[in-house]
Structure 1
Amino acid sequence: QLLDARGLLCPEPIRLAELAIRQLSAGAILSVQATDPAAPIDFEAWCLRRKHEFLACEAFDDGWTIRVRKGPSTS
């Protein structure tokens, strides 16, 4: 699933990712496009807290594509 969070600032990209990942099965991958300068750090911390796997953070024109694998379904 692809989530477009470009143009949004913290905490909105994380809030949207939280809603999106709840719709996925454990092991599914969520890709997030974000332009918030703090997004890479925020998503890495969020993954640790929520027990998701931070797979990658790739730079593009003015932001990042962040890939997260959903951890065990708890919520």
Structure 2
Amino acid sequence: MSGIEFDLVLDAKGLMCPEPVMMLHNKVKELQSGGVLQVLATDPSTKRDIAKFCSFLGYNLLQHDEVEGVFTFYIQKP
């Protein structure tokens, strides 16, 4: 467990590129400034894609990890 508190969850497990990032783009619109989104995914390309998404759009990738094939990301809206 990360211990990071989050406001919303995006479950993109079982989806392949580009679906997780497309869903992420829509979901972050629901966050208030400073809010944190937890993203769950199983596609290994999300490690690269979500990091690029955050960097390009100015979101903070607080933490990411992998447990038993599930990638978990914590993204904070600026």
Structure-1-length-normalised TM-score: 0.89
Find 1:5's aligned residue among 12, 18, 27: 12
Residue number in structure 1 paired with 2:77: 70
Post-superposition offset of 1:63: 2.0
Structure 2 distance, partners of 1:70, 1:60, is: 24
Superposed CA offset, 1:27-66 (max 9, x none) = 1000000000111111110001111001111111112101
Counterpart mapping for 1:1-75 below 5 A: 1-71=8-78
Distance, in Å, in 2 between the alignment partners of 1:40 and 1:67 is: 12
SS of the residue aligned with 1:25? Answer: coil
**3-state SS in 2 of match to 1:10:** coil
Structure 2, unpaired ranges of 5+: 1-7
Identity %: 31
Which whole-Å CA distance do the structure 1 matches of 2:20 and 2:58 have between them?
A: 18
Question: Any stretches of 5+ residues in structure 1 without a counterpart?
Answer: none
When the two structures are aligned, how many residues end up with a matched partner?
71
